[in-house]
Amino acid sequence: MGNLGRVLTIDAAILEAIVAHARRDHPDEACGIVAGPIGSDQPTRHIAMDNAERSPTFYRFDSMEQLRVWREMDDRDEEPVVIYHSHTATEAYPSRTDVGIAQLPEAHYLLVSTREPDTTEIRSYRIVDGVVTEEPVRVVNAGVDQHAVQSYMFGQSPAEVDYECPAGS
Amino acid sequence: MAIEVRIPTILRSYTGGAKSVEGSGDTLTDLLSDLDSRHAGIRGRLITDEGALHRFVNIYVNDEDVRFIGGLDAKLADGDNVTILPAVAGGSLAIWA
């Protein structure tokens, strides 16, 4: 499995829901997943998870909620395509803790920083065997609410972020 | 009769890619030893060198997190379903040495 050339392609409405979750739980860290059909690499179903730690510096999925959600994904032939969490006082880059615990090599680890009240930093990574590789975030269907999308700041250089807006939007 | 054990993606290298395997044992400790006899190394991914359940692994017996039913001493019976899931955790605080 190569990490080169990987891109996170995500629907603007799902990204907005993730950011809204992160803002709602601020200053505690928020966490969740976006599930998608197995093997598709398409995040289609946003599931906000409880942060069992309820902490501004740590997150952990509640183990019973995780069991329920993972079984539901099994039943629907889905897998966690995106694992997201927020950093509420630091940048959207995986901490040593994030990297040390990451156990889903196939997932996109999406980090959202809410440290700035008006701008949300969003960056995505693969974390495989302790190696972090940043990847571009490609937002699709952004035409519905462009203003919301434009208030985001992505870590990748603008040339690598591909906005795919419907014609005429 | 046996106990069905569901294996997460990250541990399927120990089970030849199998999503679930069968095992036996009266307790979780016994089951993990039994699994390790056929899937060498898997036990070490779940149990620390000190013999405790790894902090960032969740193991469930049927619908219960084993941390609430005795941990590695949790009792098992034929027909039980055991599920192993990697815990999803992290955070901005650099607690990881």
Contacts of A161 (CB under 8 A, 6+ apart): A136, A137, A138, A139, A154
* Strand pairing class (A131-135; B20-23): unpaired
The interface predicted TM-score (ipTM) is 0.88
Which pLDDT does position A144 carry in this prediction? 55
Which of A59, A79, A95 is opposite residue B94, by nearest beta carbon? A95
Task: Check B89 against A61: CB less than 8 A apart.
Answer: yes
Q: How confident is the model at residue B92 (pLDDT cuts 50, 70, 90)?
A: confident
User: Which of the residues A49, A54, A101 would you substitute to probe the B interface, choosing the one with the greatest number of B C-beta atoms within 10 Å?
Assistant: A101
Between the alpha carbon of residue A98 and those of residues A1, A15, A60, A78, B75, the distances in Å are 21, 21, 11, 24, 33
| B20/B28 Cα distance (integer angstroms) | 16
Report all structural domains of chain B as residue ranges with CATH numbers, in order of start: 3-86 (3.10.20.30)
Name the β-bridge partners of A34. A46, A82
Ranges of residues in chain A whose predicted pLDDT is under 50: 1-3, 149-150, 157-169
Q: Between β-strands A108-113 and A78-87, what pairing exists: parallel, antiparallel or unpaired?
A: parallel
Residue-wise pLDDT tens digits, B4-48: 999 998 899 999 999 999 999 999 999 999 999 999 999 999 999
Note whether B9 and B25 are within 8 A (CB): no
A8-158 CATH, one of 3.30.530.20, 3.50.50.60, 3.40.140.10, 3.10.100.10? 3.40.140.10
For chain B, positions 47-66, list CB contacts with chain A under 8 A: 56, 58, 60, 63, 65
CB pair distance less than 8 Å for A101 and B89: yes
Burial label, B41 (beta-carbon count in 10 A; 0-12, 13-18, 19+): exposed
Give the dihedral sign, CA B87/B92/B95/B96.
Answer: positive
Residue in chain B closest to A54 (alpha carbons) equals B91
A60 chain-B contacts, CB cut-off 8 A = 87-89
Domain boundaries, chain A: 8-158
pLDDT at residue number A142: 72
Nearest to A85 by CA among A52, A111, A56, A103: A111
Cα dihedral across residues A66, A67, A68, A74: positive or negative: positive
Q: Name the percent of chain B lying above pLDDT 90.
A: 89
Test B90 with A87 for CB contact under 8 angstroms: no
The answer, yes or no, to whether residue B1 has pLDDT greater than 80, is no
- Chain A: residue nearest B97 by CA? A96
Using one digit for the tens of pLDDT, what is the confidence trace for A124-162?
999 999 999 999 999 998 765 555 544 677 765 443 444
